[in-house]
Structure 1
């Protein structure tokens, strides 16, 4: 896949996620944002907090990788390592298999408020900037340590895709929670 078209696609997806969260969730009251369809499932805010926890790590790790690998290399496509391919495929929204998240990334039963939504939107702005900066970086460089095992590294391009696809998955999950709540309210 061509690098610029991939980065543009990721940028468009990120803008769409930002818009979805702003329009679908920002106006909801706190009770609706904290509604859980089941005790072991996540609320809208827990879905967003999970993504915030990942963004706190990956936004800075990707920024550092881009800064250290800018210029000099003309990369025309994003290639995937076994780790990157597996990571991206695992979090794709189309992959309906549930995965256990690592304990410190699991926000279940957290006390959350509107700042969670605001933080998510701020992370999206940061990610947009990273996607712009990535246009001048060697996206094939293995430079982004994996959050749960930092000895393993993803390529910059696949790490960017992982972050965006992972966000897509959980924003869709949050939308399903909103739909479930609406069905209960209508019944």
Structure 2
């Protein structure tokens, strides 16, 4: 498998391990606690990631189906297009200056979690979706990912290449897992 795709799989696996470490050391109260009224709990962060994965799995699967129609092969090095670079940068963990975080983005309504799902359900869904995303990255090996375009499910006006999309997904997971860790830390005495 292409080394850049191996790196993406590694990031997905690190995110999954990170989530399970957090879930294993967190009681139910801290798991469901919001640090303040306009922040998500750890449970809501995971629910958001599951909503996002459910939107992207068919999108990536469909984009890879286009691959079969192309005889073009993978380049020696994948590159994100400018829009994809911006999206992947904005979707990853938020930078900090002193104690202030920068880069908050309002989430589209379809991706705002609602309701309280049991932790076991959230984790099982996350794991199943993670396995699908990892399989899709492996399936992408050899594809001209720079040439395949996807439309963001967050905003239909935004299009970027599939390589940038694949880079963005685990970065986005790490962003919200950091947020989940902070929510749990705020809930602990």
TM-score by length of 2: 0.86
Q: Does 1:175 pair with 2:181?
A: yes
1:48-106 deviations in Å (ceiling 9; x for gaps): 11111110111110111112214532322222222211101111214332111111211
**Correspondence for 1:98:** 104
Check conservation: 2:34, 2:183, Cα contact below 8 A. Answer: yes
**Correspondence for 2:98:** none
Deviation at 1:151, TM superposition (A): 5.0
Q: Does 1:73 pair with 2:45?
A: no
Range with greater deviation from structure 2 (139-148 or 66-75): 66-75
Check conservation: 1:30, 1:113, Cα contact below 8 A. Answer: no
Check conservation: 2:81, 2:146, Cα contact below 8 A. Answer: no
1:100-124 deviations in Å (ceiling 9; x for gaps): 11112112x5222221221111111
- Structure 2 unmatched ranges of 5 or more: 96-101
Counterpart among 16, 20, 38 of residue 40 in structure 1:
38
Range with greater deviation from structure 2 (151-160 or 35-44): 151-160
**Correspondence for 2:99:** none
Instruction: Measure the CA separation in 2 of the matches of 1:139 and 1:76.
Output: 11
**Would you say how many aligned residue pairs link Structure 1 and Structure 2?**
180
Q: Does 1:146 pair with 2:152?
A: yes
Q: Does 1:87 pair with 2:87?
A: yes
SS across alignment from 1:32: helix
SS across alignment from 1:144: strand
Q: Does 1:58 pair with 2:69?
A: no
1:25-59 deviations in Å (ceiling 9; x for gaps): 15644323211111111001100111111101111
In the TM superposition, 1:92-131 aligns within 5 A as 92-95=92-95, 96-107=102-113, 110-114=115-119, 115-131=121-137
1:143-182 deviations in Å (ceiling 9; x for gaps): 3221133354221110001111111110111111122222
Deviation at 1:4, TM superposition (A): 2.1
Counterpart among 161, 165, 175 of residue 171 in structure 2:
165
